[in-house]
Structure 1
Amino acid sequence: MPNSSSRAPGERGLAWLLLLGGAAGLIAAGVLTVEKIALLRDPSYVPSCSINPVLSCGSVMSTDQAEAFGVPNPLLGIAGFAIVTTVGAALLAGARFRRWFWLGLQAGVTFGVVFVHWLIFQSLYRIGALCPYCMGVWAVTIPIFWYVSLHNLRTTRIGLGAARMHGVVLTCWAAVVAGLITARFWSYWTTLV
Structure 2
Amino acid sequence: MASFVNISPSPLLLPRTRHLSPPRFSFSGPQFKNYWVRGVGMLRFKCSLEPRPDNELEAETSASSSSSSSSISTYSWCAGLGGLGFLETAYLTYLKLTNSDAFCPIGGGSCGDILNSDYAVVFGVPLPLIGMVAYGLVATLGLKLAGKNLPFGISESSGRLILLGSTTSMAVSSAYFLYILSTKFAGVSCSYCLMSALLSFSLFFIAVKDFGLQEIPRAVGLQLCIACLVVATLSTSYSSTSQPVSTSLTEIDLQPFTTEITTQSNPLAVSLARHLQSIGAKMYGAFWCSHCLEQKQMFGREAAKLLDYVECFPEGYRKGIKMAKACADAKIEGFPTWVINGQVLSGELELSELAQVSGFKAEEFSQLN
Query: Residues 69 and 131 of structure 1: is their aligned pair in 2 closer, same or farther, counting only changes over 3 Å?
Result: farther
How many Å separate the matches in 1 of 2:216 and 2:83? 32
2:135 pairs with one of 47, 58, 81: 81
Query: Residues 100 and 37 of structure 1: is their aligned pair in 2 closer, same or farther, counting only changes over 3 Å?
Result: same
Query: Residues 152 and 76 of structure 1: is their aligned pair in 2 closer, same or farther, counting only changes over 3 Å?
Result: same
1:119 pairs with one of 177, 185, 204: 177
Kindly indicate whether residue 201 of structure 2 is the aligned counterpart of residue 149 of structure 1. no
Conserved 8 A contact 1:56-1:130: yes
SS in 2 for 1:153: helix
Conserved 8 A contact 1:50-1:56: no
1:59 pairs with one of 96, 105, 113: 113
Q: Paired residue for 2:124?
A: 70
List gaps (5 residues or longer) in structure 2: 1-63, 218-346, 349-369
Q: Paired residue for 1:13?
A: 73
Query: 1:106 offset after TM fit, Å?
Result: 1.7
Query: Residues 126 and 157 of structure 1: is their aligned pair in 2 closer, same or farther, counting only changes over 3 Å?
Result: closer
CA root-mean-square deviation: 2.9
TM-score (norm 2): 0.37
Query: 1:75 offset after TM fit, Å?
Result: 0.8
SS in 2 for 1:34: helix
1:17-36 mapped onto 2 (5 Å cutoff)? 17-36=77-96
Q: Paired residue for 2:279?
A: none
Higher strand share: 2
Query: 1:153 offset after TM fit, Å?
Result: 3.3
Conserved 8 A contact 2:76-2:142: yes
The percent identity for this pair of structures is: 23
Query: 1:151 offset after TM fit, Å?
Result: 1.7
Query: Residues 69 and 148 of structure 1: is their aligned pair in 2 closer, same or farther, counting only changes over 3 Å?
Result: farther
List gaps (5 residues or longer) in structure 1: 40-44, 159-185, 188-193
Q: Paired residue for 2:162?
A: 104
Higher relative contact order (CA 8 A, sep 6+): 1
Kindly indicate whether residue 196 of structure 2 is the aligned counterpart of residue 137 of structure 1. yes
Query: 1:14 offset after TM fit, Å?
Result: 1.0
Conserved 8 A contact 1:59-1:127: no
Q: Compare CA radii of gyration and give the structure with the larger one.
A: 2
Query: 1:19 offset after TM fit, Å?
Result: 1.1
Equivalenced residues, count: 152
Query: 1:98 offset after TM fit, Å?
Result: 3.2
Query: 1:143 offset after TM fit, Å?
Result: 1.1
Query: Residues 84 and 156 of structure 1: is their aligned pair in 2 closer, same or farther, counting only changes over 3 Å?
Result: closer
Higher helix share: 1
How many Å separate the matches in 1 of 2:130 and 2:137? 11
TM-score (norm 1): 0.67
Q: Paired residue for 2:246?
A: none
Give the 4+ runs in structure 1 shifted more than 6 A. none
